[in-house]
Structures are given as C-alpha cells and as structure tokens.
Amino acid sequence: MDLSITSLPKLPNRFDPALTLQSLGSKYEWVGLRFIQESSQTLIAEDGQMRAPTMDLSRGVQIEVRAGGQIAYASTSDLSPASIEATAQQAFKKAQLQQQHGIELSSVTRPAHKGTYSTHKVRGLDTLSRNQIMDVARQASSQMKNNPLISKAMGMVRYTHRLQHWVTSDGADITQEFDLWASDFNCIATQGSQVERRSFSGGQALCYQGGSEILDLPWILEKCKQNQSQAIELLSAPNCPSKVTDLVLAPDQMLLQIHESIGHPLELDRILGDERNYAGWSFVQPKDFGTLQYGSKLLNVVFDPTAPTGFATYAFDDEGLPATREYLIKDGLLLRPLGGAESQFRSGLPGVANSRTSSWSRAPIDRMANIDVLPGNSTFDQIISNVEDGIYMISNRSWSIDDYRNKFQFGCEYAREIKNGKLGQVYKSPNYRGECLNFWRALEQVGDASTFERYGSPYCGKGEPSQIIRVSHASPTCHFKNIEIFGGA
C-alpha cells in the first residue's frame, strides 16, 4: 500500500479558532487565540534498510488574555468548549496577578492584521508517497554504504506540515501553512581503531520549505557519493595543525557561525536580559545600534523572512507583525536588533517581525528566522587563489559560545590545507576559535552568488520554559584573516 504524505495522518475534526473566539471575545479586555497543528513524518534508513518510521501529531490552542496592561498565556490540547473557557479564565487570572509585578507592555504589541501565508512549492506534494521518501532514504544510505570501509550509513528525511491560525478579539486573523523538510545523510568510515564520520553539510542542516522538488534524488545521491569518499579520505588524514592562519569557511559552517555570533547576540530579548538565567545575555548594548562596527566593510547581513525556500520563511510573526526583509548589518555597521513588537516597545529600538513560538504550549519570544550573509564579489577560485597560507573548513560538527555570545569555538568535519593559492592536504578534526567582533572584522573576502548556499536547523533552543525552533541561514563562502586553528588528539 502506497500512502500519500499529505493524507497522513488522518487528522481529527478541524478546529475553528474564529468561531471559538466568539464565545470568549466579550468577556475580556482583549483575548487572542492561537491554534497550532503540526504533523511530521520521519523516515530513516540505515545501510539501505528502513528503521522504524515515526509520525508526530501536535495539536493545541494557546489563549492570550490581556488584563490591565498585562498579557498572560494558558494552553491546552483539550479543544472542548468547556476547556477553552477554563483555559481563558486561567490566563485572565494570571494576567490580573501580574499587574503589580509585571513588565509593562502596550496594546501596540498586538497589531490587528489579517492575512495568509503558504509555502511556495514548485511542485506539489499530492502525488508524493511515503514509499518514495523511504526510497530516497534507502538509496542514499545504500550509496554511502557501498564500500567495505564504511561501517554505517544513514539517510533521514522528515516532512512536516504546520498550520497555525491566530485570531484576536480586536480583529487580527492570520492563517499560515508551512511545508517543511529536514534531511540528514551521513556515514561512518572505520579502519582498525580509526573512526571518522562525514555528513552531508553537518547534522540535519538540509532544512527547507517547499514541495516535492526538495527531494532531488540525483543531487542527494551525488552528495552522498562525495560523503563516502571524504569519510574514507579522513581515515588517513593527519590532524589539523595548530597555528594562527587564514580561514576559509564553507556555507555549511557559516550556518553555525552566523547563528551563534550574529543571530543570538542581536536578539533583543537577550539584550533586555530576559534570557540571562538560561542561554545568556549579549555583549551588544542598545547604544550599539547605528554605531558599532560589527564586522569588516564586506559584511552585510539581513533578516529575510521572504526567502522562498527558507526554513523560517513566513508572512507574520506570532505577535501579528508583518514580516519584511531588513538589514541588520550593512557594510559592517550594526543597524537593527532582532526584536518583535513587545521588545521594540520595551527598548525603544527598531526591530523585526521575529516573535515566534515553537508550539501551542509556549509563549512567543524573540527568535532568529532566516538570517543571511549577503554575497560579495569573489568566486570560490578567486578566494582560494588569494590565500597564501590557510585552511578551508567544511560542515559543522561541534559548537560552543559563551553566554554573552563572544568567545566561540567551532569544530568541522573536514578541512583542506590552502597553500600558495591552491587547495592541498586533507585534515581531520579541524577546529577554530575566536572572539566575535575580532572575527567578523577579520572578514577579508566574501564569495559571490555562485558560492551562496542556504542551510538551516530544526533545533535552536532558547527560552524559559524552553523552546526549540526552526532557523535558516544562507551564506557565501567567506575568508577570514589570522584565526587560531587546531586539531584533535
């Protein structure tokens, strides 16, 4: 039996937030109702054979109630009228309790827009079956396993459909539907006690919105072939040397570099201190916007929720702000933080539409979405040819940064020496470390559009209570001067 991915799982009766709101609207100063339904299918093959398929179905409602200038949230997956009524009352009582000791908010933090969004799909999903997806996972893992030095190969594809519908008592009505793909293809090469792992662009970095065009099997198989040969190369490669040198980063490592050392420090809720007890604060101060030279003149960074295939592309954030592309850093100068309507009100700074919630059970907070470094003018060959002595690192495998988002250390899966403008020796266990502003100010060359690639992650963790959300980062290949690199032991 061949099951279509769009017909599974069979969902319970559709919930109508607008109708439900009618029964609540008149009882409160302001009430918002956020319905979120997310269904995922995860299909994993190891060494050409399917493992246990997984389906997830999350479905619930979050009710926001404003009382005396304070907003409180209550959430439930029980969508019966009595439960909705009780949940709204819970939120109302909490909002009342907060009035003496809550951070001041404003009614402008929930603009009453109407609109819709759905993922841009080049090809539809109606004819795509679970069997076809399983075959992608099977073939990808078989392709990588097809060598005696490969001890394990894995292919994983997850498709998620997310529907969210937000209505408020003052007329906001926003429906957004997302078709989301996250994939991972990796293999382990073993020779004696030597073990090396190589993945396709780092763990689950292939994260996109789109239709069935996302599953481009010939391209995936070609990349898996490369994975296999590079994993085997690493078995006989020496450790990355320790020195200060020029560093060229591939877009699939720029993913993490952007995320940790631009995305998080610019989140306005961090700058305002909300996150201090958990993920941390930020070295960026409110006065830095418009004045701080964050990177070299070559650094241009945008918040772009309009990128067609971005994992975090949307039309409105979860406070109802219309999402538009904005420069965060232009010619190296810091311009704008990542803060939604509440954070903008609290700080008096401009921001972006980035207040997002991971699920119906969590309140929206400032999150990254698609944060991209814009292309420059150098081809890949030009970048390499301009490096006398350096290293080229690909695909993230380790990451750590301090709670102010300053001192970082990253490890990659694979590296090549750069000598006299040419790629040379393969190195295993390449790592580098640095401090945020010094690093971005050392940006020496930026790749052109031919080097520009988009990746993402399903797993950005933040918040109290904690939330995991989807992010996306696109970047060209980038060259940095005088960076400390080192290898394994």
Partner 1 sequence: MTTDHIRQHCLSLSQKTWSHLNNQESASLNFSGEQMSYVRLNNSKVRQSTDVTMATARLVVYCDRRTHYFNWDLSFNIDQDLKTAQTFIEVARAERPQLEVNPEATDFESNPEHMSVDSDFTAPGLAPLLEFLSSQKLDLAGLLASGKFWRSSFNSKGQTQWFESASSFLDYSIYTTGPTGEPKALKNAYFAKHWDQSAFELQVQQTKNQLEYFTKPNQTIKPGNYRAYLSPFAVAEILGTMSWGAFSYAFYKKGLSPLGRLANGEAKFSNKLNMRENFDLNLTPRFNSRGEIAAKHLDLICKGELKNYLISSNSAQEYKVTSNLAEPSFEAPRSLEVLPGELLEQNILTELDTGLYLGNLHYCNWSDRPSARITGMTRFGCFWVEKGKIQAPIADFRFDVSLYQIFGPEGLLALTQKQELIPHLDTYHMRATGGLATPGALIKEFACVL
Closest contact distance (angstroms) between CB of 152 and partner 1 is 6
In order, the DSSP letters of 72-97 are: EEEEES--SHHHHHHHHHHHHHHHHH
Rg (CA), the chain: 24
Tokens of 114: 């109407």
Say if CB 4 and CB 126 are below 8 A apart: yes
Nearer to partner 1, 78 or 381 (CB): 78
Q: Using CA atoms, how far apart are residues 294 and 286, in angstroms rounded to an integer?
A: 14
Among positions 72-91, residues that touch partner 1 (CB under 8 A) are 72-80, 83, 87, 90-91
Among positions 162-201, residues that touch partner 1 (CB under 8 A) are 188, 190, 193, 195, 197
Nearer to partner 1, 100 or 420 (CB): 100
Selected from 52, 218, 287, 348, the binder of partner 1 by CB under 8 A is: 52
4 near partner 1 (CB under 8 A): no
- Which residues are CB-contacts of 256 (< 8 A; sequence separation ≥ 6)? 202, 396, 399, 410
Nearer to partner 1, 288 or 435 (CB): 435
347 near partner 1 (CB under 8 A): no
Selected from 14, 171, 287, 489, the binder of partner 1 by CB under 8 A is: 489
235 near partner 1 (CB under 8 A): no
Q: Quick one: which segment of 269-277, 288-296, 387-395, 472-480 binds partner 1 (CB under 8 A)?
A: 269-277
Selected from 173, 402, 441, 482, the binder of partner 1 by CB under 8 A is: 402
Closest contact distance (angstroms) between CB of 266 and partner 1 is 18
Strand partners, 190: 195
Q: Using CA atoms, how far apart are residues 288 and 404, in angstroms rounded to an integer?
A: 15
101 near partner 1 (CB under 8 A): yes
Selected from 4, 57, 147, 448, the binder of partner 1 by CB under 8 A is: 57
Angle between helical axes of 81-98 and 17-24 (0-180°, round to 10): 60
216 near partner 1 (CB under 8 A): no
Nearer to partner 1, 51 or 419 (CB): 51
Q: Using CA atoms, how far apart are residues 61 and 161, in angstroms rounded to an integer?
A: 17
Tokens of 234: 């690493």
Among positions 131-150, residues that touch partner 1 (CB under 8 A) are 131, 134
Selected from 16, 56, 213, 222, the binder of partner 1 by CB under 8 A is: 56
Q: Using CA atoms, how far apart are residues 470 and 180, in angstroms rounded to an integer?
A: 10
What φ, ψ does residue 440 adopt, rounded to 5°?
Answer: -70, -25
Closest contact distance (angstroms) between CB of 344 and partner 1 is 15
DSSP 14: P
Tokens of 408: 């970082």
Q: Quick one: which segment of 96-104, 107-115, 202-210, 315-323 binds partner 1 (CB under 8 A)?
A: 96-104
